[in-house]
Chain A
């Protein structure tokens, strides 16, 4: 792998940038691997990377039906934070944030992590009380979190409407300063390049159509490029988790819903932290290009269509303009949808399954981008050792039988 540096940049500039090597190969799938990862989103690529980097398992293929990072990884609003309520969540999301903090260096790929702070607004007395309870719990887990008064919010975000005349006035906010955003494509590409360098085959345009089993054990997958044998199979397909589960005769507590996001035309810097509101339901940040990146809520109905309804966007804009009247004359440039895998307790599943050698990583729903490195790290451990790491043991599929749910509906505040 050619390392990226100021020197390689200068060297390649001299030849007009025509001689950069490919960041990863495009091999045809081999007939057999130790581990096959289904799904080349950030989580699947991170899993493959950590299998090779941390567990010495590099006879691995990532099979992706489209192009890598073309699913939710390339469609999300890239908010990263670890201020979740429960101990189990704090452990895995904070692990992920810590990995993010070192990721550009580890991967020699600039993922453009920007720890600009994530602000969660409170709009009524109940929000405020709930927030102070939450912030205490979060700090108790060693995760940074603080409460801001309206005056402090106004100082941090001058463009926000702090007036008491709002229908839902801003009474306070919690702030995680280490939260922020990162470049989503770069996260997928960086992990792909690092995994490829360690011998992982990344195979695009290869859809998995069946999961083959013998005597309760997985033996491989059927794909549009032919059968591939595997000792172990890890499925990381987000919105398509139920489809893959059915191939193995399993049922999941997952529903697939459209989730939309949109960007405005680019403007000069006006917003330098992430602002989220649960009550009026909007989350917004400004990209380096100057576009406002705005996220919506899910459509109520089940869908695999990667597009959502117009009225959801309308509601979103209403909330945004109420909080930031200054944005009311901006035009939207693009909107798009992804298919998110929602789980009843708003927590993910990283788990062994009743089929030996078959593992599922899904249920991240509206908020898994922030977890990409941590999820891959824990899932790689689960696959390599055939047992969960302590930080993902609680996120097993059997919690729906035992009742030990991890209810994070409130912590997520909004869909993101």
Chain B
């Protein structure tokens, strides 16, 4: 089980969290201008990095907030966590 550091609540067991997959997949701003191939890329294609991977988690059984975390997908070593909107929380991280 992973130990996940919620930027709002601190370190908690993985079972408190939901997984949101790859981070930074931005919804297209002009959907009607997208080709089918671009839609396929947005909806389905994934980087699936072997190594340092930026992903999103939600603290479902805690504060309920989404955040990003960098994790090495080979060693499970934890990297930096980040919050959405750029406002850093005050709690321990």
A binds B: yes
- By beta carbon, the residue of chain A nearest B36 is A401
At the interface with chain B, which of A131-139, A246-254, A378-386?
A246-254
Cβ contact within 8 Å between B74 and A400: no
Asked whether B75 lies within 8 Å of A251 as measured between CB atoms, the reply is no
B2 at the binding interface (Cβ < 8 Å): yes
**Measured CA separation A300–B21 after assembly (Å):** 9
Cα–Cα, bound, A254→B48 (Å):
7
Residues in A with CB closer than 8 Å to B22 are: 302
- Assuming the contacts A304-B73, A305-B75, A401-B37, asked whether A252 and B45 have C-beta atoms less than 8 A apart, the reply is yes
Residue of B nearest to A240 (CB): B50
Query: Nearest chain-A residue to B39 (Cβ)?
Result: A401
User: Which of chain B's residues have a CB closer than 8 A to the CB of A243?
Assistant: 50
> What 1/0 flags go to A208-237 for Cβ under 8 Å of B?
000000000000000000000000000000
Interface size, chain A (Cβ < 8 Å)? 22
Whether B8 is near chain A, meaning CB under 8 Å from some CB there, is no
A254 CA / B21 CA spacing, docked (Å) = 12
A310 touches B1 (CB 8 A): yes
Residue of A251, A303, A304, A310 near B45 (CB, 8 A) is A251
CB distance from B20 to the nearest CB of A (A): 9
Contact, CB under 8 Å: A253 / B46:
yes
Q: In the assembled complex, how far is the CB of residue A405 from the closest CB belonging to chain B, in whole angstroms?
A: 9
Taking a contact as CB atoms under 8 Å apart, the answer to whether A311 and B46 are in contact is no
| 5 closest A-B pairs by CB | A242-B48, A253-B44, A300-B19, A251-B45, A401-B40
A interface vs B, CB < 8 Å? Answer: 240, 242-243, 251-256, 300-305, 309-311, 344, 400-402
Q: List 27 A-B contacts (CB under 8 A).
A: A242-B46, A242-B47, A242-B48, A251-B45, A251-B46, A251-B47, A252-B45, A253-B40, A253-B46, A255-B21, A255-B46, A255-B48, A300-B18, A302-B21, A302-B22, A302-B53, A303-B73, A303-B74, A304-B50, A305-B74, A309-B2, A309-B14, A311-B15, A344-B44, A400-B40, A400-B43, A401-B37
